[in-house]
Amino acid sequence: MGKVSTRDIRKLKGTRPVVCVTAYDSTMAGLASEAGIDLILVGDTLGPMQLGFETTVPVTVPMMLQAASSVVRAKPNSLVVADIPFGVVRRSTDYVLEVCCRFMQEAGVDAVKIEGGEDLAPVIATLTASGVPVLGHIGLLPQQVYQLGGYRKFGKTEEQRVQLIRDAQALEQAGVFAIVCEMVAAETATAVSEAIGVPTIGIGSGVGCDGQVLVSTDMLGLTSGYVPSFVKQYANLRSTIADAFKSYASDVRERKFPS
Ligand code: KIV
């Protein structure tokens, strides 16, 4: 398989689901690429999953640039998309463009992801017109966790359903190549997917989306704290690693290693 482009992702709509996972370093990115994952998201879940923060809010541009550069150095065939972290997109359009260009030029990512709906469409339109491919993100926006007062499901009421469809259509008009739908009620996520011509990539949003994304540490059984109930765990790496460390410690203490 050759390098996946944003065009390839767009063309998957209506053919087969887009498969995405998060990765924060070269090791995981290399493994995801070898497994044929279509899109690697260098998510700002970097904060809670790798850096010990409670939320994604403390994650900064330099932290994300370092993680994105590490992922790109694996030379994955998967499309690499970096999250634009908290505090960037509500500043001037010039500043947002400057930060996105840093992700493309310094880290070498293929695209960026921006959390937000209709209100951000003008900024996103400027980015896409400037040659920055953008992955949208609607529904639960974890960067707004302090305003929301916690993580919850979106699109349960008619008003929210209508707004989510408007958000998705505005983002499509602004030129995004796909849209992440996080924690959107399944029926609404299906309606959003049917209302637009670019793929929706669901997380906790049911089977009606055009693709799925999972946080790699959650699906691999590496996360130490809370794991959302919609996650399917495909491995239990925490116990595998803990057992390996214990065996190593006992081998060293009992002088069985080195032999
Ligand atoms: O930061 C992230 O990992 C994300 C996914 C949860 C979609 O935005």
| pLDDT class of 146 with cuts at 50, 70, 90 | confident
Residue 1 pLDDT exceeds 80: no
| pLDDT class of 186 with cuts at 50, 70, 90 | very high
| pLDDT class of 106 with cuts at 50, 70, 90 | very high
Residue 72 CB less than 6 A away from ligand 1: no
Residue 43 CB less than 6 A away from ligand 1: yes
Q: What is the per-residue pLDDT for 145? A: 87
Q: Which domain holds residue 14?
A: 6-219
Partners of 203 in the β-ladder: 182
Tell me if 92 is assigned to some domain.
yes
Residue 53 pLDDT exceeds 90: yes
3-state per-residue secondary structure call for the chain = CCCCCHHHHHHCCCCCCEEEEECCCHHHHHHHHHCCCCEEEECCCHHHHHHCCCCCCCCCHHHHHHHHHHHHHCCCCCEEEEECCCCCCCCCHHHHHHHHHHHHHHHCCCEEEEEECHHHHHHHHHHHHCCCCEEEEEECCHHHHHHHCCCCCECCCHHHHHHHHHHHHHHHHHCCCEEEEECECHHHHHHHHHHCCCCEEEECCCCCCCEEEECHHHHCCCCCCCCCCCCCCCCCHHHHHHHHHHHHHHHHHCCCCCC
Tell me if 242 is assigned to some domain.
no
Checking DSSP bridges between strand 18-22 and strand 211-214, what pairing results, if any? parallel
Residue 218 CB less than 6 A away from ligand 1: no
By the 8 A CB rule, do 140 and 182 touch?
yes
Tell me if 237 is assigned to some domain.
no
Tell me if 229 is assigned to some domain.
no
Q: How far apart are CA 237 and CA 243, in angstroms?
A: 10
Catalytic site residue from 106, 159, 182, 254: 182
Tell me if 123 is assigned to some domain.
yes
Whole-number average pLDDT of the chain: 97
Å from CA of 254 to ligand 1 middle:
44
Query: Helices 93-102 and 61-73 meet at what angle, rounded to 10?
Result: 30
Indicate which residue's Cα is closest to atom 3 of ligand 1: 43
Q: How far apart are CA 231 and CA 145, in angstroms?
A: 20
**Mean pLDDT in residue range 37-66:** 97
Q: What is the per-residue pLDDT for 15? A: 98
Q: How far apart are CA 230 and CA 227, in angstroms?
A: 9
Tell me if 259 is assigned to some domain.
no
Report the nearest atom of ligand 1 relative to the CA of 22.
3
| pLDDT class of 170 with cuts at 50, 70, 90 | very high
Distances (CA, A) of 79 to 23, 37, 236: 12, 9, 26
Is residue 98 among the annotated active site residues? no
Query: Helices 93-102 and 121-129 meet at what angle, rounded to 10?
Result: 50
- Specify the number of domains making up the chain: 1
Domain holding 165: CATH number? 3.20.20.60
Question: Tokens standing for 151?
Answer: 């993580």
**What's the farthest any 2 CA atoms get from each other in the chain?**
68
Tell me if 228 is assigned to some domain.
no
Choose the residue to mutate in 24, 39, 44, 51 for probing ligand 1, maximizing ligand atoms within 8 Å of C-beta.
44
**Mean pLDDT in residue range 111-134:** 98
Q: What is the per-residue pLDDT for 110? A: 98
Residues in the chain: 259
List pLDDT tens digits, range 55-104: 999 999 999 999 999 999 999 999 999 999 999 999 999 999 999 999 99
| pLDDT class of 148 with cuts at 50, 70, 90 | confident
Tell me if 20 is assigned to some domain.
yes
Question: Tokens standing for 116?
Answer: 């937000």
List pLDDT tens digits, range 231-251: 999 999 999 999 999 999 999
Q: What is the per-residue pLDDT for 71? A: 98
CA atoms within 13 A on the CB side of 15: 9
Residue 81 CB less than 6 A away from ligand 1: no
pTM > 0.75: yes or no: yes
